[in-house]
Structures are given as structure tokens and as C-alpha cells.
Structure 1
Amino acid sequence: MCNLYTNKSTVQEMASLFATPATYGFNVPADVYPQYPGIVVREVHGERVLEQMTWGFPRHSNNKRTGKPNKPTATNNARDDKLWTIWRQWFTDPAQRCLIPFTSFAEAEGEAGKMTRTWISVADQPVAAWAGLWRPTDEWGNAYTGVMVDATKELWDIHDRMPVILHPDAHETWLRADAEEAMTVVTQYPAAKLRVERTDDPWFARKALTPNKNLQI
């Protein structure tokens, strides 16, 4: 599960890479947590645009003690093996797919209570695209989630899942193709093209407003 990623690219860099207009005034954090604003690329009337959305589809539950609704939590990752079931409504509609620009993503390593951040970036893509889905929500406006696959065996010691990192020539397929063809680009990215940086930074060194519970379904 990915619960933290960075996007340190500028609007101009993203606009150039993803062929969108560059006339945006976004104010978003470089470190993106669930329920934080992030940048996605999607198509509107056949043209690509950059758009700010909230990371994570709202998920609702009730308090077991009081029976009252809890605040919604974020389902920020979507399993590839459930794209045809839970996620079918959005996956099968190309207009509901998006690209999530990122420069690295983080996973937690270590024993409970002492976990540290391990960052993974794409050696041959300084700014890469993670395959995503998006939808309008009443709670947070437009929101997005990132598609995950089983990790390559080289990354198993870090985590058993990894984002669907798209090759540049797969961007068009993900944004426009029918579901069967789009599924062909839902694959593992070669481990040889990924950089792993282990740090001593505590995993839970995050701002107080960051949600505590995030899910992958």
C-alpha cells in the first residue's frame, strides 16, 4: 500500500511532459498524503488538463460504540485484481482514468513503532505517471486513487505491492483505450529501473491533520 508520495515537479515540467496547458496556479504540498491535495492529469473534451484533486475516495463507516457515522477515511489505493469488480464503474470508463505525476513514493520499513521511510523513484523517469482513477465526491470534491499491483520479487523485502508505474508510451492507452486494452498496461515496472533510498526518517513524522486510517481495496 502506498500512503505517501512526492511530486516535486513544477507545473511547467508537468505541462511539458503530459502535453497540457501550463496556465495553472496550484498551491499543493510536495509531500502528498491521503486526503491531501495532489495533481492529476485527465482528459476533458479530448484535451489533457492538470487538475488538483484530493487523494483518496471517501469511505464511510459507523462508530461501533455509538452507531453514529465516523468521519470518512480515504481509500487511496485500488488493487489491480479488483478493477473488474469493485472499481469497474470507473476503470471501464476511460474518462474516469487519470495519470498521477510523482517523483518518488515511500514505504514503511522496520519494526512496529520504529518504522522508517524508504523512498522509491524511477531511474529513467524523473517525473513518472502512476495509473489512477478519479470521481466526483460530495465530501471532498473530485478525488483520485492509485492502482496497485504485486511488487516485483526484488521489492518484496520492502512491500508486497507497488504502484502501476506507466511507461510514457502507455499514457495514451491508460487515458483513452477500452478496458481490455488498458488492462495490458497494468503491469510491474522493472526493478532494475527503480532506485531505492532507505532513510532514518520516522514513518509517522507527519502533520497532525493527516488522516490515520487509509485503505486499499
Structure 2
Amino acid sequence: MCNRYRVTEAEAALMQRYGAQPIYPPDETYPPPELFPKRTPPVIRVEGDARGLDLMSWGFPTMIKGATGIVREKPVTNVRNLTSPFWRSALKDPARRCLVPFTAFSEYGPGPTGAKPLYWFDVPSRPIASFAGIWRPLSDGKRAYAFLTCEPNSLVAPIHPKAMPVILHEEDEQRWLDGELGDLVAPFPSQLMKVERFDPKPKGTPKEEFTAGGDAMGGEPQPTA
């Protein structure tokens, strides 16, 4: 599941893209581009009759008992089972819908532990795209969000066969905020996406001799040696 993505565009670009104004407290700090669970990325939600740019914690908090029997809080970041009671109330309420801006998201591909290649996916025609998200208020007055996943398209499936984030077409974003579901939860067309592979740095390789990067592929992944 997707637990790492980027928003490399500035706040002003997000405001222009979504027609939104910041609604988060002035003491909140705008996050760095690289985003992981529990960080507070930018999220677009409706406030009154207008779109607002908010900062929310990534992941609905839940308590999980580990193998040692210790119960710890763990953020649930991806919404897969749409019929689960855990998500039902947020999915049914249009006021709990949100757009999650991103410029690229990543998945680790097959490989040995500690040496798995990292793949970054983006939509070349759209510098800022949106995941279909839901959010909920927290007991401390703050907010948390998660985004939906679906079956992977033919570009993502060879790398991560379980799922991919639900990416909305720009013309469908308002439909999502209005509370529609149905055909919006579907794989984004692979021909509109691009993927780039980044291999881990070999042990003992001096930094100046190594460039993390690989082939950029669009539409369909190509076999690698």
C-alpha cells in the first residue's frame, strides 16, 4: 500500500490549482515535500461554501496489538474495504470527503530485503493531481485523513499487485467532494502515468560515484535486467 508520496509544489500553487484558501491554524508548519504517515500534509476540504487548504495528520488512528501483546496506536493510511464500519461514516458523509494533492507516489518493487528498488509514479500532464480522500476530527481538535485504494492498473500491478491509490480525474474532483462514489473508485488509466525506478545505493559506493536513478517508463512497465 502507498505510504510515501510527494507534494513538491508550493502552497501558492495548491491554492491556485484548487481555488482554496488556507484554513489551518497560523501556528501549524507547512510540511516538507516528502510525506509519510503521521506527518501533516496539505489536504483540500470544503469549509462552508468554499474549498479550504488544511493540514491534517496522515492516517486514521487505531489501536493495534503487536506480536508481543503490547497495544500501540497505528495510523491506518489507506482505505481498501469500503464496506468496513471503520470507514463507513466518513464515506457516507460528503462533509468528510477531501482531495489529497500529490505530485508523485511511490511503491517498493520486488527484491531482497534492504535492496528493493523504489518506483515513483506520477501523471506527467498534471503537475498536481489528487487522491480521493476522507477525513475525520480527532479528540485533540485536529484532523486526520486517509485515501482510497483500488485494483492496480497495468503500470502499477507488476510492481505492487495488491492495490494503487484512487486518483481522480480533475473533472471528477467536485463529484467526489459532493459525495459520489460508484465509478470514481477505479484504476487511473496507465497510459496517462509514468514510472521511474530508483535502485538502492550499493554498499561501499562513494556518494559522488553513484546516482540513484533508472529508466523512466510510461504507459507499460518494461522488463529490467
For the aligned pair, the TM-score class normalised by the smaller chain equals: 0.7 to 0.9
**Structure 1 SS opposite 2:2:** coil
The Cα shift of 1:162 comes to 0.8
Distance 1:94 1:108, change over 3 A: same
Q: In 2, distance between residues paired with 1:76 and 1:199?
A: 24
2:14 alignment partner, SS class: helix
Q: Distance in 1 between matches of 2:57 and 2:199?
A: 28
What is the rounded CA distance, in whole Å, between the counterparts of 2:112 and 2:59 in structure 1?
27
Q: Which has the higher contact order (CA 8 A, sep 6+)?
A: 1
Contact 1:90 1:133 in 2 (8 A): yes
Q: Equivalent residue of 1:17, what SS? A: helix
Instruction: For residues 145-180 of structure 1, give each alpha carbon's deviation from its aligned partner in whole angstroms, at most 9, with x where no partner exists.
Output: 010001013322111211111111111001013xxx
User: 1:164 and 2:166 equivalent?
Assistant: yes
Instruction: Look up the match of 1:191.
Output: 190
Name the counterpart of 1:55.
58
**Which has the higher Rg, Structure 1 or Structure 2?**
2
Secondary structure of the residue aligned to 2:32 is coil
Residue type at the aligned position of 1:193: L
2:142 corresponding residue in structure 1? 141
Q: Does 1:119 align with 2:120?
A: yes
1:170–1:185 Cα contact (<8 Å) kept:
yes
**Structure in which a larger fraction of residues adopt strand:** 1
The whole-number CA distance in structure 2 between the counterparts of 1:22 and 1:63 is: 38
Whole-Å separation in 1 of the counterparts to 2:188 and 2:70: 43
Aligned to 1:209: none
Aligned to 2:151: 150
What SS does structure 2 have at the residue aligned with 1:192? Answer: helix
| Residue of structure 2 aligned with 1:27, choices 24, 30, 48 | 30
Separation in structure 1 between the aligned mates of residue 74 and residue 23 of structure 2, nearest angstrom? 32
What runs of 5+ residues in structure 1 fail to find an aligned partner? Answer: 203-217
Give me the whole-angstrom Cα distance separating, in 1, the residues matched to 2:123 and 2:147: 16
Task: Give the structure 2 partner of residue 103 of structure 1.
Answer: 103
Is the CA contact (8 Å cut-off) linking 2:23 and 2:53 kept in structure 1?
A: no
Gap runs ≥5 in structure 2: 202-225
Q: Give the SS at the match of 2:71.
A: coil
Identify if the C-alpha distance between structure 1 residues 201 and 19 changes in structure 2 by more than 3 Å, giving closer, same or farther: farther
Q: Displacement, 1:117? A: 1.4
Partner of 1:37: 40
Residue 176 of structure 2 aligns with which residue?
Answer: 174
Q: Structure 1 length normalisation: TM-score?
A: 0.83
How has the CA–CA distance of structure 1 residues 68 and 169 changed in structure 2, closer, same or farther, with 3 Å as cutoff?
same
Aligned counterparts of 1:193 and 1:4: Cα–Cα separation in 2: 21
Separation of aligned partners in 1, 2:64 and 2:84: 21
Separation in 1, partners of 2:21, 2:38? 26
Aligned to 2:88: 88
Matched letter for residue 112 of structure 2: E
Q: Distance in 1 between matches of 2:95 and 2:170?
A: 19
SS of residue matched to 1:174 = helix
Q: Which amino acid aligns with 1:186?
A: V
Task: Provide the alpha-carbon RMSD of the alignment.
Answer: 2.0
Q: 1:23 to 1:146 in 2, by over 3 A?
A: closer
Partners in 2 of 1:2 and 1:116 — Cα distance?
15
Identity of counterpart residues, as a percentage?
32
Partner amino acid, structure 1, of 2:153: T
SS in 2 for 1:146: strand
